[in-house]
Amino acid sequence: MFSRFRKDQNGNLAPVSRAVPAPHGDLPPLPEKASTPAPGSAARQRAKPKSATPAAPDKDRRRRQRILELKSEMHTRLLDNLNLAAIDAASEAELRAEIASITAEALSEASVVLNSDERMNLIQDLYFEVRGLGPLEPLLKDDTVNDILVNGPQRVFVERAGKLELSDVTFKDERHLMRIIDKIVSAVGRRVDESNPYVDARLADGSRFNAMVPPVAVDGSLVSIRKFKKEKLGIDDLVRFGAFSEEMALYLEAAVATRLNVIVSGGTGSGKTTTLNALSSFIDNSERILTIEDTAELQLQQEHVGRMESRPANVEGKGAVTQRDCLKNALRMRPDRIIVGETRGEEVIDMLQAMNTGHDGSMTTIHANSARDGVSRLENMIAMSGIEMPLRAVRSQIASAVNLIVQASRLQDGSRRMVSITEITGMEGDVISMQEVFRFERTGLQPDGKIIGHFTGCGIRSAHADRFKRWGYDLPNSIYDVIPAGGRP
Ligand SMILES: Nc1ncnc2c1ncn2[C@@H]1O[C@H](COP(=O)(O)OP(=O)(O)OP(=O)(O)O)[C@@H](O)[C@H]1O
Ligand SMILES: [Mg+2]
């Protein structure tokens, strides 16, 4: 990427060994960080070690402030000078050249001298403002970032490796932030303002986007972005990362291939969608799969996949297509399996019916903290959907529809693990009976905060072991063994 390059001594562009691109809104790198000071007395002075020039940081700060101001002035000027209609058609090189020339003009008018790094960064940032998503652009391009969470213009958090950290990206002010939000939502034909203060959208690259603006968002607009990963984590990656064990992978392969109905349960950002996506890889290529999501995130590898995305109502409150609408329609589209990205409302009843009536091997996720909790969530969703059904009937519907609940969790150390696999075995009186077959046994904490633990069977053979065998998945009973902390005896 452009910002990863700095000029070397010969003035050539050379890659800088930095994994993370310089965040926009971050202050442009100043000569003290560069290996070679750019010509100019101020730059030469800053090339000395910091401690030797105590006045430098202050000077740097003032200079950075000035550059930020310049950037904002320049942006207004660009918007005035550029033909916005023509921008869309312009190539990246053309647009950059245009920005560079307008910038050079403005800098000379303002009698400001920038070194080449500063000028390059300024042009880069302005390019992102005009063509991209401004300060968010470098974060979107940074592969180590999973989530971007904006709490007002001055506080932008990112999630890396399961941990949230404050980034040094900022917006100039709330108006700047609002402008970027507007740019995102108008590109997908949506609007967000005081009377319509929140919006859900999908960015052009597939990332999931949600924003809420003032006055509902009290301290400035709130934005959440779940970055789209081109390379989805597969079963092997998840085993390698310690998300679950080889034995669990074998079991899940048998469960999905023999068409058990599976629910992946978990908290927010616990890896539900990732797990669902990985599990889908066990589906045979000959099957017709229909997926239904609020924001299309799943990336199934099979040949025969039909993807649907629900749609909220427009500003006049018309045109909504709910997940339930999609699901009902899907049932008329001869699916072998139906995958619903997340069941969160009235579609639950259709999902359970589909699972009960010939669409074995269907899968979905729910937001819950344990398998038992997940079942209660399903019951509540049914109750809230307005269907009058005695609790026992609701439970027996759930018990006969759902075979397996896989519990995903994001632990305190940021790691995401499948902490339990539970089978639903039927009804005992009025209660749904379940048995846990695998779980993550936590045994301690390392000094650096990393959780110590291991995966183990629960000493109970799967209730579906015979089915697995009939379908050609003859799993050894030893995979269900309880494994002590030190490993198998
Ligand atoms: N086992 C894992 N190891 C490392 N990263 C993971 C793992 N599982 C998921 N992730 C990453 O964590 C992020 C969140 O995952 P995912 O979208 O699957 O969560 P989710 O539970 O569906 O979230 P939400 O509740 O917001 O829908 C993604 O960026 C994903 O790539
Ligand atoms: Mg999800």
Q: pLDDT grade, residue 363 (50/70/90)? A: very high
CA distance 443 to 451: 8
Spatial distance between the Cα atoms of 258 and 403, rounded to a whole number of angstroms: 11
Extract the tokens encoding 369: 């903290």
Condensed to tens digits (0 to 9), the pLDDT of residues 134-148 reads 899 999 999 999 999
Strand partners, 442: 453
Q: Report CA-CA distances (Å) from 298 to 215, 216, 330.
A: 34, 31, 17
- Nearest residue (by CA) to ligand 1, atom 2, is 416
Phi-psi category of residue 210: left, alpha or beta, with phi > 0 → left and psi -120 to 50 → alpha: beta
Determine what percent of the chain is predicted with pLDDT higher than 70: 87
In 3D space, the residue among 213, 144, 142 whose CA is nearest the CA of residue 175 turns out to be: 213
CA distances from 101 to 67, 75, 115 (A): 17, 13, 16
Given a cut of 80, whether residue 8 has pLDDT beyond it is no
Rounded average pLDDT over 469-486: 93
Q: How far apart are the first and last CA of the chain?
A: 52
Residue 439's pLDDT is 97
337 membership: H or E segment, kind and range: strand 337-340
Residue 231 has pLDDT above 50, yes or no: yes
- Ligand at minimal distance from the CA of 264 is 1
pLDDT band at 364 (very low <50, low <70, confident <90, very high): very high
Ligand 1 nearest atom to the CA of residue 270, by list position: 21
pLDDT digits (tens, 9 = 90+) for 26-85: 333 333 333 333 333 333 333 333 344 445 667 777 877 777 777 778 777 777 777 666
- Interval between CA 161 and ligand 1 midpoint (Å): 10
For ligand 1, what atom is nearest to the CA of residue 269?
23
Q: CA-CA distances (angstroms) from residue 413 to 273, 371, 417, 448?
A: 20, 22, 11, 9
Torsion of CA 318, 180, 102, 38, to 10 degrees: -160
Q: Is the dihedral of CA 380, 383, 386, 389 positive or negative?
A: positive
Structure tokens that stand for 473 in this block: 């998945």
Amino acid at 355: M
Virtual torsion, Cα 103, 108, 112, 114, nearest 10 deg: 50
Among 178, 184, 141, CA closest to 22: 141
Q: Is the pLDDT of residue 159 over 70?
A: yes
What is the model's pLDDT at position 470? 96
Q: What is the pLDDT of residues 392-417, one digit of tens each?
A: 999 999 999 999 999 999 999 999 99
pLDDT for position 35: 36
Atom of ligand 1 nearest to the CA of 367: 25
| 127 Cβ contact list (under 8 Å, min separation 6) | 2, 92, 95, 96, 99
The Å distance, Cα 226 to ligand 2 centre, comes to 9
DSSP-derived pairing of the beta strands 262-266 and 404-410 = parallel
- Cis before 335? omega within 30: no
Nearest residue (by CA) to ligand 1, atom 15, is: 271
pLDDT by residue (tens digit) across 269-279?
999 999 999 99
Predicted confidence at residue 336, as pLDDT, reads 93
Closest listed ligand to the CA of 407: 1
**Which ligand is located closest to the Cα atom of residue 226?**
1
Query: For residue 19, is pLDDT > 50?
Result: no
* pLDDT at position 84: 63
The full length of the chain comes to 489
| Best of 163, 416, 417, 455 for a ligand 1 pocket test (most atoms within 8 Å of beta carbon) | 416
Q: What is the mean pLDDT of the chain?
A: 84
426-452 pLDDT per residue, tens: 999 999 999 999 999 999 999 999 999
- Sequence-ordered list of residues with C-beta below 8 angstroms from that of 350, at least 6 positions apart, any chain: 324, 327, 328, 331
Could you say which ligand is closest to the alpha carbon of residue 367?
A: 1
75 C-alpha to ligand 2 centroid (Å) = 36
Nearest-CA residue for atom 10 of ligand 1: 271
Residue whose token pair is 């070194």: 115
| 26 CA to centre of own chain | 23
Is the pTM higher than 0.85? The answer reads: no
Cα–ligand 2 centroid distance for 206 (angstroms):
13
Biggest alpha carbon distance in the chain? 85
The 10s digit of each residue's pLDDT in 167-226 is: 988 888 898 899 899 989 888 878 898 888 999 888 888 899 999 999 999 999 999 999
Within 6 Å (CB) of ligand 1, which residues are found? 146, 226, 229, 233, 238, 241, 243, 266, 268-274, 416
Closest by Cα among 360, 412, 410, 402 to 377: 402
If one compares 162 and 270, the residue with the highest pLDDT of the two is: 270
Backbone dihedral angles phi then psi of residue 424, each to the nearest 5 degrees: -95, 120
Across residues 351-378, what is the average pLDDT? 93
Strand order through the sheet with 208-212: 163-166, 156-160, 147-151, 222-226, 208-212, 198-202
CA 338 – ligand 1 centroid, Å: 21
Distance 241 CA to ligand 1 centre (A): 13
User: How far, in Å, CA of 352 to CA of 371, rounded?
Assistant: 16
Gap from CA of 368 to ligand 2 centroid (Å):
12
CA of 186 to the centre of ligand 2 (A): 24
CA of 270 to the centre of ligand 1 (A): 5
d(CA 81, CA 78): 5
Residue with tokens 């920005």: 99
pLDDT at 85: 63
Q: Which residue's alpha carbon is at the smallest distance from atom 9 of ligand 1?
A: 271
How much distance in Å is there from the Cα of 269 to the middle of ligand 1?
Answer: 5
Whole-number Å distance between alpha carbons of 306 and 339: 10
| Structure confidence at residue 56 (pLDDT) | 62
Pocket test for ligand 1, best of 241, 273, 417 (most atoms within 8 A of CB): 273
244: its two tokens: 């679950």
- CA nearest 484: which of 444, 446, 443, 449? 443
How many Å apart are CA 66 and CA 30, to the nearest integer?
A: 13
Q: Name the residue at shortest CA distance from atom 12 of ligand 1.
A: 271
**pLDDT value of position 148:** 97
Please state the atom number of ligand 1 nearest to the C-alpha of residue 275.
Answer: 18
Atom of ligand 1 nearest to the CA of 266: 21
- Closest CA to ligand 1's atom 3: 416
